[in-house]
Structure 1
Amino acid sequence: MARESFDKEIQFLRMLVLTSGAYNRQQYADRLGISIHTFDKTIKRLKEIVNAVHQQLPEEQSKEFAETIRYSYLESSDPMLLFLFRAKSLKETESQRFSLLLAAMHEKPLTAMELLDLCCGSMPAELSLPDEKTIRGDLKYLEQVGVIKKEPGTRPFRYRIYNDFVRELSYDELLDLYDFIDIMANTQVPSVQGYLLRDGLKKHIARGQAEYNQIDPFLYKYHYYSRILDEAHLFTLLGAIRNRRSISFLYFSPKKETSYAAKNTNPLFERDTEGMQETTLPLKVVYDHQYGRWYLLGNHARHGIKKYRLEGITQISEEESVAEAFYEAKKTELEQRTAHSWLIDTGKPVTVRVRFFHPGHGIHNFVRERVLLQGQWGAIVEESDDSFVYEIEVNGTIEIKPWIRSFGSSCEVLAPMRLRQEMIAEWKEIKAYYESV
């Protein structure tokens, strides 16, 4: 898989969703830091992926890629990142080889040499033939991910498809399992592996039922594409955290005019990029449910604790590992700095006091329930018949402000005075939008 190309296509999909096709080709290319020629090749490749994924649709129902995202809501509810995983997670030769191996082992257990002979006799003429080392590496990988199982016995070992779990379930149990996976993949993070499991189970159910025509009972519409797109980086970062390894990457701040730059491979055509080359020790990954964003918190050699939005990270590579004592010390420092963070803010602690008003007599008090549910470690310190006062100590007020604002006229900021003045100014600005024309 070409990591650079994967980054480029992720940024391309993100812009296509956010702008709904409002940019022309030149604006897209400028924003991505690529040429128009590269832009055309990218969108052609993405259209090919979509056509391959939806090849079962009648021709009259097929849509152009941009139109699918802009207008077909139910079809665009399928996360765009899955197109990239299906098309680019394996090389073409690996895809062909794995298909042959799994099909052969589905019939009966086979040895590595038997599988080698089968591959050499069945691989397309335009693809290179594998050797014994390649086949054994494939079998080791498939065994590690739980697709196949080594049969007990002496050498030479035989391998078979490992699908015991789904084979023991009845048709109704398989449908219940499918519905559960579908709900969890659409409501929990991370999700990509859940979608791949869901699609695999759906194909298994369809194979076992000649008249299978199951309609999905749940339909989801995605509003936060960054949540899914940025999962491409998630497991790389989690692996670096687990192994205490520093990482290096090219970072594009959300304030930058470009969000991607082609990797320079020829020094004659090297050009400056607007991204920053960063090296940091990743300590924690945080997901913001309110905005659908992923954040990386790490330790920078010069600047200490630093925060990055995953949507701006490209070209990740792992560096040297650090001592366990050093890593634990930096992790403890991060926990202390974010102990009072509403999300990831590391500013100075401030006490916020907000008066919330009850919705009215005889009306279910949904305001109080929501504050108790979402208010984290804050507490209700005063309460009367018509209102209650909520108090919390947080690192700065930037992250808690949207939450307070979402209550509208059901709340009033009491302290600190600076936050109160900011809220007054914002509501005056909103009021001005609705003045009579």
Structure 2
Amino acid sequence: MARESFDKEIQFLRMLALAGGAYSRQQFADRLGISVHTYDKTLRYLKEMLSTLQQDGSQEHGTELSEGLRYNYYESADPLLLFLFRAKSLKETESARLTLLLTALQTQELTAKDLQDICSEQLPADFPLPDEKTVRGDLKYLVEVGVIVRLNGGRPYRYKAANDLIDRLSDDELLDLFDYVDVIANTQVPSVQGYLLRATLKKALLKRGFDPEATEIHRYKYHYHSRILDEAHLYTIFRAIRQCRKLNFLYLSPKKGKNYASQNTNPLFERESEGVAQSVLPLRVIYDHQYGRWYLIGHGPRLGLMKFRMEGLTQIEEGESVSEEEFADRLASAQTQLQQSWVIDTLRPVKIIARFFNPDRSGANFVRERVEAQGQWGSITDESDSTFLYEITVNGIYEIKPWLRSFGSSCEVLEPAWLRQEFIAEWKEIRDYYESVRENL
């Protein structure tokens, strides 16, 4: 799949998931910056891709794209958010060829020549037939990613699917492994690889005759659509960080209201891009649990420290490399500026003191436990049996403010005085919302 196309599919799915049916076709296309014709073409392409990837005879076969958009508390966020990753960076011919190779190697040990014959017999008539060099390249790739293994022995080499781990597990062990992966994939970041492993284990359980509902025993799910979709950029960014290499990309600020900008490949329809071209040395990736957002922290030649919402990154390409010394200096400077950031804010440091009220009942003190778990480097001091003080110095108040507000009546901001007045005004405004419309209502 072309890189530009993948950017479009990500933004398309993001808007479908978040807006649902709130937009008409025209409004949806306008928001994405594409034509209605492109909207229809993209939607048709997504449905065809989903249909192709469900040709494994699983219980989810025939699932409509609209069903994937419908939130189900008892199911994880697949397949809607994962089928893009399964098709990412693969041409249609590569996808069909690799599928044939993996299917053939599930039950037998084959050579490259055997697999070439299978491709020649089973590939659609309009697909080019691969030569032996192409098949060997595919096998090398699949060995590198751990999907298949090359068996010991002389030439010609024989290959088989790497299913030994799953095949050797008993039913109880396989269920325990699925439960573990299910919890970790839904609660840890990054998690796309966990979702893919979860899907593989689920198929293995189905082959053993387990009812799909029997595999769903956990009811706690933690997933944001944006979080999972934006993980597509993580591995490119991490590779650039390891190699001390700059990244070039087109940035579409979420504040602008545009989610996608097409590449101007046709001079007859060339138009000014909505985004801003950036060349940045990536330094860190930061995840905001409060809103499920990824941030890229980098260094720009003119502005120094720069921060980007990862959902706005499109058309990412690797650029020139820098020396390890320069990268270390930039990273040290960024860490100093972010040392007191609640997430990524670099405004003037502010000392905040808040009083928290313990629950007025026996049992677990969930207020204290949450402050201890999420309060980062802030200090806690017991004030009385029913209250404790929380003190922290943080860059700006805009990122920590929603966290304090989320405690409701269990939190009282004491300092600074101006922040306390802001909270008072906000709670008064909320109280006014609940005023009766009629006296005799």
Aligned partners of 2:175 and 2:223: how far apart in 1?
A: 27
Question: Measured at CA, do residues 370 and 103 of structure 1 come closer, stay the same or move farther in structure 2, by a change above 3 Å?
Answer: closer
Separation of aligned partners in 2, 1:122 and 1:50: 21
Give me the whole-angstrom Cα distance separating, in 2, the residues matched to 1:212 and 1:58.
Answer: 11
The CA deviation at 1:63 is: 7.2
Contact 2:87–2:95 (CA under 8 A) maintained in structure 1: no
SS at match of 1:282: strand
**Is 1:234 aligned to 2:234, yes or no?**
yes
Aligned residue for 1:255, secondary structure, equals helix
Whole-angstrom CA distance in 2 between matches of 1:143 and 1:51: 27
Matched position secondary structure for 1:299: strand
- Note closer, same or farther for the CA distance 1:19–1:206 as it changes in structure 2 (3 Å cut): closer
Are the aligned partners of 1:151 and 1:158 in contact in 2 as well (CA < 8 Å)?
A: yes
TM-score (norm 2): 0.90
Moved more, 320-329 or 71-80: 71-80
Partner of 1:339 in structure 2?
Answer: 339
- Which residue of structure 1 lines up, in the alignment, with residue 40 of structure 2? 40
Who is 2:211 aligned against?
213
2:370 equivalent to 1:356:
no
Using the alignment, how far apart are the partners of 2:388 and 2:156 within structure 1? 73
| 8 Å Cα contact 2:287-2:294 kept in structure 1 | yes
Matched position secondary structure for 2:250: strand
The aligned residue for residue 26 of structure 1 is: 26
**Partner of 1:269 in structure 2?**
269
Which one-letter code corresponds to 2:231 in the other structure? E
Map of 1:284 onto structure 2: 284
In 2, Cα distance between the equivalents of 1:25 and 1:355? 49
Q: Say if 1:381 and 1:389, in contact at 8 Å, map to a contact too.
A: yes
Tell me, which stretches of 5 or more residues in structure 2 are unaligned? Answer: none
The equivalent of 2:378 in structure 1 is 378
In 2, Cα distance between equivalents of 1:373 and 1:348: 25
Deviations 1:176-216 (A, max 9, x none): 11121112111111111112112222223333x3x433422
* Amino acid in structure 2 at the alignment position of 1:47: K
How far does residue 119 in structure 1 lie from its aligned partner after superposition?
A: 2.9
In the TM superposition, 1:116-265 aligns within 5 A as: 116-207=116-207, 209=208, 211-215=209-213, 216-219=216-219, 224-265=224-265
In structure 2, what is the Cα distance between the partners aligned to 1:353 and 1:106?
A: 61
Kindly indicate whether the alpha-carbon contact (under 8 Å) linking 2:380 and 2:389 is maintained by their aligned counterparts in 1.
yes
2:186–2:223 contact (8 Å) kept in structure 1? no
Shift of 1:67: 6.0
Residue 106 of structure 1 and its aligned partner are, at CA, apart by 3.9
Partner of 2:93: helix, strand, or coil? helix
Shift in CA distance, 76/66, structure 1 to aligned 2, threshold 3 Å: farther
Distance, in Å, in 2 between the alignment partners of 1:76 and 1:105 is 29
1:17 correspondence with 2:17: yes
Larger deviation, residues 13-22 vs 74-83: 74-83
Rounded Cα–Cα distance in structure 2 between residues aligned with 1:332 and 1:363: 44
The unaligned stretches of length 5 or more in structure 1 are none
Deviations 1:86-125 (A, max 9, x none): 3445322222322332344344433334433443344332
Q: Percent identity?
A: 60
Per-residue deviation, residues 144-194 of structure 1 (Å, max 9, x unmatched): 011122222344433232222222211221121112111211111111111
Q: Which amino acid aligns with 2:138?
A: D
My pick for the range that moved more, 241-250 or 373-382, is: 373-382
Q: How many residues align?
A: 434
**2: CA distance, partners of 1:116 / 1:93:** 14
Query: Which residue matches 1:368?
Result: 368
After superposition, the Cα gap between the structure-2 partners of 1:323 and 1:345, relative to the gap in structure 1 and judged at 3 Å, is: same
Question: Structure 2 CA distance, aligned partners of 1:353 and 1:80?
Answer: 43
CA apart distance, 1:133: 2.3
Amino acid at match of 2:210: Y
CA contact (8 A) 2:3 2:89 kept: no
Classify the secondary structure of the residue corresponding to 1:315: strand
Please name the residue that 2:429 is paired with.
429
Partner Cα distance (2:73, 2:338) in 1: 39
Question: Hey, what's the Cα distance between the residues in 1 that align with 2:277 and 2:168?
Answer: 51
**Preserved contact between residue 285 and residue 294 of structure 1 (Cα < 8 Å):** yes
For residue 101 of structure 1, what is the amino acid of its counterpart?
L
CA-based RMSD of the aligned residues comes to 2.5
* Paired amino acid for 1:4: E
Q: Normalising to structure 1: TM-score of the pair? A: 0.91
